[in-house]
C-alpha cells in the first residue's frame, strides 16, 4: 500500500531538545499553538497529569524523557520513576515505558544510555503506527466512511497516530472517503484535537455530537468505527476513552465493524480482563464547565470516569504492529503476545 507520509505525517507534538522536553500544549489547541518546556521529571509529571501531553503512547514517551531529565540532573531515579508512574492510572504505555527505562537503569545505564533508550521508545512508536496504519487500512473496503472517537493522532503518539494512523493510511490509499469524529465530551479531544489534525491534513471530515453516533450508524454512512486503546487486557477487553463502549454496542447493533488500533506497548498480558483495569476518575469540574465557563447550576455534583472498557466480543479486529487479531479472545491474544 502506498501512503503519502510527507502529506499525512507532519505533526510532532513531543520533541526532545537535549536538556529539556518540548510539548505542544494540548490544553490550548486549537485556539493557540503554544509549546511548553519541561526541564525536570516533576514538570513532565505535571504535564501528564494536567493533559498538556495526553494519549497513551505519548504519555509513555514523555515519561521516558522525564527519566532522562532525572538522570541528567542526578536526581534519585527510583523516586522519579515512582512519581511519573503515579501521574495517570489507566494507560499502560506509561508503566510499560517506565519499566523499560527501569530495566536499563538496573543494567547500569548512564544518562546517555537512557537518552538512547527514550529515543528508541519514541522511534519504535512511530514505526509501529505506520505499520499498523497499513494493516488496518487493508481491512477497509474502498470508499468507506468511518467514525473515530477521542484523539489518537500525532498528538497522542510519536507521530502519525494509532486509529488516526489507520484513517490517514486509509484516506491516502483511497479506502476511506469520509471521516466522522465524535466530540468526546467532556474534554473534547475529538472536537479540539482530532478535527485540528484532520483539517491540517485536508482529510474530508465532519464533527458529530457524541450523542449523534447511533443515528449516524443507522444512516449507513459508516462501515467502521476505529478507535485507539489505553490498555488491552489478556482476553482482548479494551479500555479507551469514555464513550467507546457505547459506540461498540451501537456498532454491533447496526452491523458496523469495530476496530481497535494500538501498539503492542498498549497490550497488558498481566491484566486478565477489563474488570481488572483501573479507570481514572477526574475532577468533576471538567464536566461542570465548558471552556472554563461554568454551565451547570452551583451545588450540582458530577461523576467523571474518563475511560470505559469495551468487551472483546464487541471488537471485530485488534490491529497492532505485530499483526491483526480478528474476533479477539484469550487464545488469540496469547498466541500473538505470549504472557
Ligand atoms: O485522556 P486521554 O486524552 O489521554 O485519553 C486518550 C485516549 O483515550 C486515546 O483514545 C488512547 O490513548 C489512544 S491514543 C493513541
The closest-lying atom of ligand 1 relative to the alpha carbon of residue 241 is 8
Residues 138 and 120 in one domain: no
Q: Residue 259 in contact with residue 136, Cβ under 8 Å?
A: yes
Range of the domain at 89: 5-126
The residue whose CB lies within 8 Å of the most ligand 1 atoms, and thus the one to mutate among 24, 29, 56, is: 56
In this structure, are 93 and 135 located in the same domain? no
pLDDT for residue 292:
86
Which of 83, 110, 126 is a domain's end point?
126
Beta carbons within 8 Å of 149's beta carbon, 6+ residues apart: 181, 182, 184, 190, 225, 227, 240, 241, 243, 244, 247
Annotated binding site: 54-56, 88, 189, 240-241
Residue 262 CA, ligand 1 centroid: distance in Å: 10
- Are 299 and 205 in a shared domain? yes
- Choosing from 47, 187, 229 the residue with most ligand 1 atoms within 8 A of its CB, the one to mutate for a pocket test is 229
Angle between helices 111-137 and 56-72 (to 10 degrees): 170
* For the CA of 262, the nearest atom of ligand 1: 15
Residues with CB under 6 A from ligand 1: 54-57, 91, 150, 152, 156-157, 162, 189, 228-230, 240-241, 306
Residues 206 and 243 in one domain: yes
Cell 515512582 maps to which residue? 82
Domain's final residue, options 126, 161, 182: 126
Which CATH number covers residue 13? 1.20.120.420
* Model pLDDT, residue 2: 87
Same domain, yes or no: 51 and 142: no
Where residue 119 falls (left for φ over 0; alpha for ψ -120 to 50; beta otherwise) is alpha
Same domain? 183 vs 229:
yes
Residue nearest to atom 8 of ligand 1 (CA): 241
Q: Residues 311, 186: one domain?
A: yes
Q: How far is the CA of 171 from the centre of ligand 1 (A)?
A: 22
Both 283 and 145 in one domain: the answer is yes
Query: Quick one: 149 and 247 in the same domain?
Result: yes
Q: Please tell me which residue in 230, 237, 268, 316 is annotated as part of the active site.
A: 230
- Which atom of ligand 1 sits closest to the CA of residue 280? 1
Let me know whether 136 and 194 are in one domain.
yes
Residue 339's pLDDT is 63
Domain boundary among 104, 126, 148: 126
Please give the tally of structural domains in the chain: 2
Same domain, 266 and 245: yes
One domain for residues 228 and 285:
yes
Can you tell me the distance from the alpha carbon of 122 to that of 129, in angstroms, rounded to the nearest whole number?
11
Task: Please report, for residues 65, 122, 231, 273, 308, the alpha-carbon distance to residue 239 in angstroms, rounded to integers and kept in the order given.
Answer: 25, 22, 5, 10, 5
- Tens digit of each residue's pLDDT, the chain (339 residues): 889 999 999 999 999 999 999 999 999 999 999 999 999 999 999 999 999 999 999 999 999 999 999 999 999 999 999 999 999 999 999 999 999 999 999 999 999 999 999 999 999 999 999 999 999 999 999 999 999 999 999 999 999 999 999 999 999 999 999 999 999 999 999 999 999 999 999 999 999 999 999 999 999 999 999 999 999 999 999 999 999 999 999 999 999 999 999 999 999 999 999 999 999 999 999 999 988 899 999 999 999 999 999 999 999 999 999 999 999 999 999 999 996
Residue nearest atom 5 of ligand 1, based on CA coordinates: 55
Helix axes 92-106, 77-85, angle to 10 degrees: 170
- Longest Cα–Cα distance in the chain: 59
Residue 199 sits in a domain of what CATH number? 3.40.50.10470
Which residues sit in the known binding site for substrate? Answer: 54-56, 88, 189, 240-241
Question: How far apart are the CA of 151 and the centre of ligand 1, in A?
Answer: 6
Q: Is 201 a catalytic residue?
A: no
Q: Identify the residue whose C-alpha is closest to ligand 1 atom 15.
A: 152
In whole angstroms, what is the distance from residue 194 CA to residue 184 CA?
10
Amino acid at each position: 500500500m502506498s501512503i503519502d507520509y510527507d502529506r499525512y505525517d507532519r505533526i510532532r507534538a513531543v520533541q526532545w531538545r537535549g536538556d529539556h522536553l518540548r510539548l505542544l500544549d494540548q490544553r490550548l489547541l486549537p485556539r493557540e499553538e503554544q509549546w511548553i518546556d519541561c526541564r525536570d521529571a516533576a514538570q513532565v509529571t505535571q504535564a501528564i497529569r494536567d493533559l498538556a501531553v495526553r494519549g497513551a503512547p505519548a504519555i509513555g514517551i514523555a515519561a521516558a524523557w522525564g527519566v532522562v531529565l532525572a538522570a541528567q540532573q542526578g536526581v534519585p531515579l527510583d523516586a522519579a520513576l515512582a512519581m511519573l508512574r503515579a501521574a495517570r492510572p489507566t494507560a499502560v504505555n506509561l508503566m510499560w515505558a517506565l519499566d523499560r527505562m527501569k530495566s536499563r537503569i538496573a543494567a547500569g545505564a548512564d544518562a546517555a544510555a537512557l537518552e538512547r533508550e527514550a529515543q528508541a521508545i519514541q522511534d519504535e512508536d512511530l514505526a509501529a503506527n505506520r505499520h499498523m496504519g497499513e494493516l488496518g487500512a487493508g481491512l477497509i473496503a474502498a470508499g468507506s466512511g468511518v467514525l473515530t472517537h477521542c484523539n489518537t493522532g500525532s498528538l497522542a503518539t510519536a507521530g502519525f497516530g494509532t486509529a488516526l494512523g489507520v484513517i490517514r493510511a486509509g484516506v491516502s490509499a483511497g479506502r476511506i472517503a469520509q471521516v466522522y469524529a465524535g466530540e468526546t465530551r467532556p474534554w473534547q479531544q475529538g472536537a479540539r484535537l482530532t478535527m485540528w489534525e484532520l483539517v491540517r491534513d485536508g482529510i474530508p471530515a465532519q464533527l458529530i455530537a457524541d450523542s449523534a453516533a447511533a443515528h449516524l450508524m443507522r444512516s449507513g454512512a459508516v462501515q467502521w468505527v476505529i478507535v485507539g486503546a489505553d490498555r488491552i487486557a489478556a482476553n482482548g477487553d479494551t479500555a479507551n476513552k469514555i464513550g467507546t463502549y457505547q459506540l461498540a454496542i451501537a456498532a454491533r447493533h447496526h452491523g458496523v465493524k469495530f476496530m481497535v488500533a494500538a501498539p503492542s506497548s498498549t497490550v497488558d498480558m498481566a491484566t486478565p480482563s477489563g474488570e481488572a483495569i483501573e479507570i481514572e476518575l477526574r475532577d468533576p469540574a471538567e464536566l461542570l464547565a465548558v471552556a472554563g465557563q461554568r454551565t451547570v447550576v452551583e451545588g450540582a455534583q458530577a461523576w467523571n470516569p474518563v475511560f470505559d472498557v469495551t468487551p472483546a466480543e464487541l471488537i471485530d479486529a485488534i490491529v497492532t504492529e505485530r499483526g491483526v487479531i480478528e474476533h479477539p479472545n484469550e487464545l488469540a491474544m496469547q498466541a500473538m503476545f505470549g504472557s
